[in-house]
Structure 1
Amino acid sequence: MKKNNNNLVEEFSLRFLINRISIFFSFLKSQKNQIILSSISVLFFTISFNYLIKPKYYAKTSFVLDNDNSKGMGELSSVASLAGINPSSFIDASSLFQIDNIQDLYRSDAMLKKTLLSYGDFNDGKMLLINMLGKIQNKSDKWKANKIVFNKENNLNRIQDSIIKITTKKIREKNLVVTKPSRKTTILNVEFNHYNEEFAKIFNEKLVANVNEFYIKSKSFKTGINLNVLQKESDSVRNVLNNSIQILAALDESIPKLNPLLKTLKTPYQKAMVDVQANTAIFQELVKQLELAKVSHRNSTPLIQIIDSPVYPLENSKWKLSETLFYGSFLGFTLSIILQMILSLYKKL
């Protein structure tokens, strides 16, 4: 008996569902003219909106950062040990600017400010990016009226600093996106969006160049100083060694037939010989340290390899015609049905 009741309920539910679907399609058929007209109106509005609204352009740079110098440092340590040199003086264990905080470096006020005060080659000529941005935003005349002129060579005044600060904040919040696709890789994506295609591309390129240059200099700063010091010391000792060799040769020529019994006459020659030997030993040690310092400097200099860089035409937020037709038709059809159903219910009240 219970089984028969269940069958009746299922049959009733299915019949009810079919009936409601039939009523729904009958309703659509009765309102087809209004639905078609509304759908076309929404589609026309969607197409107009897509092509009249100014799109955003996306300039994106992807690069890989090879910052793993542990293998090179291990080889350097082995070579230094064989040469009898303490390798700790060449191995920098600093974790300065690891891949994770390079993202913050791209968003920093200092790097954004430096980029805004960099020159770019625009269609209107070579100019600072901040001046080009002011021109795009129709602020150039206002700045000139208030005698606000940005010049890379001059120090910024209080008003100029304020404009730069506000601009960098807006860029960081609305235009700049720095992402790392995976925690397991050392690939970074730097994306800058703007309504001006030319400005978006040039700003992205300048920002990447400025940050990467700063990063490389910072990573190799200590080893670079050490290398320069050793190079100067090596050159200085080389000059001293050359002079001592000249003195030794001159003394040797001054006493061609020295009496072996007159030992005091040998004293200047022997002193010069000691100087040559001492300077030679010092120079050899400095040369070893200099070569190791060069290897250390090369290993501490990170390799930044650009994978993708922005090229014209840039990607933009505007839909393609096929996408516009699809989304516009779907949106128009859906909204038209909802509107007709609401009107139908309102009439029944």
Structure 2
Amino acid sequence: MSENLQNIKANKTIGTNELIINIIHWIRYILSKWKVLALFAIIGLTGGVYYYNTHKGNYTAEYSFIVSGGNGPSGGYSGIASQLGLDVGGTSGSLFDENNIITFFRSRSILDKVLYSNYKNSDKLIIDRYIEINGIKDKWSKNNISAIKFNAEESKRTIQEDSVINGIYKIIVKSNLFVDKPDRKSDIIYARFIGNDQVFCKTFMDELMNQVSLFYKETKSNNDLRNVEILQRQVDSVKNTLNASIRGVAVAIDNTPNANPSQQVVRVESQRRVVDAETNKALLAELTKNLQMTKMAMQRQPILLQIVDYPILPLEFTRTGLIKTVAIGVIVFLIIGLVVVVLTRVYTQVKHLFIIDKV
């Protein structure tokens, strides 16, 4: 038993010693390739300096806002309205809900409207300015599409134009436009555009906020107008029914002019007509009140976004320092060089064993 324990300990010692020896051999081998690693470090240093000189930094235009709460009539109106097919916050409320507003800000339809808006009240479109400041047209010259002109009228756009817009849209949502809610306990949402031209960044964000507000107002107005039309029809219908009920009461009374007070059955018809009239009267009063409330809601034009903060020129400027940029470049390329050295050694050893086995 003791001999087995001694053998196990001896094997462990041998295994540990072999591991240490292998590690030492690897370290010596890597150090022996210091010239290769130094070459990769120089490449990283050069790349860091080049990146620093070619990337001038970015400006950030940021809005912070709170999504407004429910709009339109509430309370007892919502119960009746749902039975009448009215929208009391359904379509517009769900679309502009806090949980959906982040996705809505980055939607293709909204960004299309922004890109096809005039840039600072000029004849140039925002899409034209974006292409200009990012040097995209120089890349297009290779694809023979540098002469493309963007048309604000959707019916006159070509397939080639839509294809280009789709590509630019993907670049913007991936690299420039960011909308998020970092603090889940807070209601504040942040929307920012990051780019290398501060005037463009601010102009883009101003137009984006404007387009979202316009779309909301149009949607809300359409819903309110539809609600008014439905309520007006219901008011007219109930009013006609009420008039018919009042007439029915009079007819029932006239049919029994000298009714015997001890015979209640002859008064059933007139009492039923009275109940119908009272019910329609109450319903008409409620519908009329809700109709007036909806008309008032249309006049108020509620605000969707309560702005907390907005961008002011000069915008916040961010740029990675030269030392940090160079350090990152050197570290990255040293790691790449180390991987190349290790893989080369492993490949050589495997190739050598394969040759020996073959022999």
> What TM-score, normalized by structure 2, do the two folds share?
0.56
CA distance in 1 between counterparts of 2:106 and 2:346 reads 54
Alignment of 1:1-349 (within 5 A): 1=2, 2-52=4-54, 59-68=61-70, 73-74=74-75, 77=76, 92-96=88-92, 97-99=95-97, 100-103=99-102, 105-121=104-120, 127-133=124-130, 135-136=132-133, 137-138=136-137, 158=156, 160=157, 162=159, 165-176=162-173, 179-181=179-181, 188-192=189-193, 196-223=197-224, 292-293=293-294, 296=297, 301-307=302-308, 309-310=310-311, 312-313=314-315, 319-341=320-342
Cα RMSD after superposing both structures: 5.0
CA distance in 2 between counterparts of 1:198 and 1:171 reads 19
C-alpha displacement of 1:129:
1.5
C-alpha displacement of 1:206:
0.9
Q: Is the 8 A contact 2:56 2:196 kept in 1?
A: yes
Q: Which residue of 1 aligns with 2:251?
A: none
Secondary structure of the residue that 2:74 maps to in structure 1?
helix
Count, aligned residues: 280
Secondary structure of the residue that 2:91 maps to in structure 1?
coil
C-alpha displacement of 1:173:
1.9
Secondary structure of the residue that 2:307 maps to in structure 1?
strand
Q: Is the 8 A contact 2:33 2:341 kept in 1?
A: yes
Q: 1:198 to 1:11 in 2, by over 3 A?
A: farther
Q: 1:8 to 1:118 in 2, by over 3 A?
A: same
CA distance in 2 between counterparts of 1:346 and 1:117 reads 56
Q: Is the 8 A contact 2:58 2:197 kept in 1?
A: yes
Q: Which residue of 2 aligns with 1:263?
A: none
Q: Which amino acid aligns with 2:166?
A: K
CA distance in 1 between counterparts of 2:347 and 2:55 reads 35
Q: Which residue of 2 aligns with 1:236?
A: none
C-alpha displacement of 1:53:
5.5
Structure 2: runs of 5+ lacking an equivalent: 232-285, 353-359
Secondary structure of the residue that 2:119 maps to in structure 1?
strand
CA distance in 1 between counterparts of 2:298 and 2:292 reads 10
CA distance in 1 between counterparts of 2:74 and 2:348 reads 82
Q: Which residue of 2 aligns with 1:249?
A: none
CA distance in 2 between counterparts of 1:144 and 1:347 reads 50
CA distance in 2 between counterparts of 1:63 and 1:180 reads 11
> What TM-score, normalized by structure 1, do the two folds share?
0.57
- Show CA shifts across 1:188-215 (max 9, x none): 5545555655434422331222112211
CA distance in 1 between counterparts of 2:303 and 2:150 reads 38
Q: Which amino acid aligns with 1:26?
A: R
Q: Is the 8 A contact 1:227 1:293 kept in 2?
A: yes
C-alpha displacement of 1:34:
4.5
CA distance in 2 between counterparts of 1:48 and 1:225 reads 60
Q: Alignment identity in percent?
A: 21
CA distance in 2 between counterparts of 1:104 and 1:37 reads 46
- Show CA shifts across 1:64-105 (max 9, x none): 2123459x723xx49x99xxxx78789815233242554554
- Show CA shifts across 1:122-173 (max 9, x none): 9xx774323424544448x999988x585x7xx5663x45565334312332
CA distance in 2 between counterparts of 1:149 and 1:181 reads 34
Which has the higher mean CA deviation after the structures are superposed, 10-19 or 86-95?
Answer: 86-95
C-alpha displacement of 1:109:
5.0
